[in-house]
Amino acid sequence: MFAKPKASSDLPGRPRFDPPRGARPNLRELPGIVGARLVETFRRPYVAPVAALCLFATAVFTFLSLAGDPDAASPSVRVTLNKPAAAAADPHAKPDDSQSGMQSFTLDSLGLFSDTPVDGFNLNDPNAAPVQGTAVITMPGDNGVGAGAAPKFTTSPLTPAPISGLVKTTDTGPLPVIGPNGLTPAAAYARPFKSDGRPMVALVVGGLGLNPATTKEAITNLPPQVTLSFVPYAAGLQNWIDLARANGHEVMIEVPMQPVNFPDNDPGPQTLMANARTDDVISKLNWALSRATGFFAVSNYQGGAFFKDKSGVSTLMQNLKSRGVAFIDDGSAKGLDGAWARASADRIIDNQINATAISAQLGGLEATAKSRGAALGTGFSYPVTLAVAQKWTQQLEAKGIQLAPASAIAHQ
């Protein structure tokens, strides 16, 4: 009943391949011996089914691994992340450099990263461990926003700034003034434009001058009809404005104004504050206006609290009007009159920073333009904003809409 089973090599009909003890196997017979032993092994009970099951499971796992990753075939870039050491203060820095306020004009100032967890880490947690290691960034293909597409427009440079008679030299820098013949900076530095009777849309892209890459991309990749708005704290501001005008763009200067959540949100030391003294408002405004020449208008950077101060707003508008400078806001100051010319944006196109939402806002601008005759939008110089705007401007001609500079929308 419990007899020892025969060895597989002793079963009937199967030759035994065990060589005699001490004998050296013939190398010519070795492949046949190995093959026979494999066949013999797979003839054993359960060996063949189990091997087949393992092979099938391996194939399924491999397929799911590749099919489950939509970016498996996309090119990748491996980037080493090291937390940089804090920069030492420059003892030779100019006094104005230490009070530049440049740090205020960052993505953090817009509240984009507040309390945002990333893979279990909170970027604002002071006790969090430094982010180190390697990040793999998948580079998508054409995502429908036209990134990397060659610009389809021609440019013609605008008159170099400053134009004689439109600037006054002061201790803080050059200030715009109305020329002796009545020519204003709002008219002289605006991009020439002639309506052809079609609905018009204008677009302002702001926050420029701090990031060289995005600033250059906006200047060179966006059509010259797009108005560019620069931060007064930016280094080399005049060079950026000169380059923008050489590429046909009219430009504006952004004036930082007190937001409703100040001081948690601080736009910098030259911020126009609500309920400030008149001379303080004028002094800080003149500082912003004297950073460069060649702008036709100023725009607001924030200002939810400042715009509620009637006295401060009146001082701002009267000063701009006396200097022949226009004021174009992001929609925060609708209904406020003054300055040499005025316009308020109908939409901020990138309140939600994704291509779908930005495209929807631009579509809303088109609808407003068709119903009202003209529409104005503003946006920040996010890479996705620039990419979507570039493709959008190339489609307007086919839609029967004329792209116009912001100065064409402004009214006296």
Question: What whole-number percentage of the chain has pLDDT above 70?
Answer: 66
Assign 97 to helix, strand or coil: helix
Going from the N-terminus, what domains does the chain have, and what CATH number goes with each?
A: 174-408 (3.20.20.370)
The closest alpha carbon to 301, from 95, 106, 99, 100, belongs to 106
DSSP state of 137: E
Question: Taking 80 as the threshold, does the pLDDT of residue 37 lie above it?
Answer: no
Residue 338's pLDDT is 87
Residue 118's pLDDT is 32
Structure tokens at 159: 């008159």
Question: Taking 50 as the threshold, does the pLDDT of residue 226 lie above it?
Answer: yes
Adjacent-strand bridge partners of 388? none
The closest alpha carbon to 382, from 151, 200, 147, belongs to 147
Dump pLDDT digits (tens) for 344-401. 999 999 999 999 999 999 999 999 999 999 999 999 999 999 999 999 999 999 999 9
CA distance 214 to 210: 9
Q: Where are the alpha helices (DSSP H) in 247-354?
A: 278-289, 310-322
Residue 40's pLDDT is 66
CA distance 320 to 312: 13
Beta strands in 182-319 (DSSP E): 200-208, 227-230, 251-257, 297-302
Dump pLDDT digits (tens) for 104-121. 444 444 433 333 333 333
CB 392 within 8 A of CB 205: no
Question: Taking 70 as the threshold, does the pLDDT of residue 11 lie above it?
Answer: no
Q: Is pTM beyond 0.95 here?
A: no
CA distance 29 to 33: 6
Min mean pLDDT across 86-100, 114-128, 219-233, 257-271 is at 114-128
CA distance 355 to 389: 10
pLDDT band at 97 (very low <50, low <70, confident <90, very high): very low
Nearest-5° Cα angle at 14, 11 to 18: 95
Q: What is the pLDDT averaged over residues 233-252?
A: 97
> To which residue do tokens 């601080």 refer?
266
Question: Taking 80 as the threshold, does the pLDDT of residue 242 lie above it?
Answer: yes
Residue 337's pLDDT is 87
- Between the CA atoms of 327, 328, 332 and 335, what dihedral angle is there, to the nearest 10 degrees? 70
- 72 burial type by CB count under 10 A (0-12 exposed, 13-18 middle, 19+ buried): exposed
Residue 412's pLDDT is 78
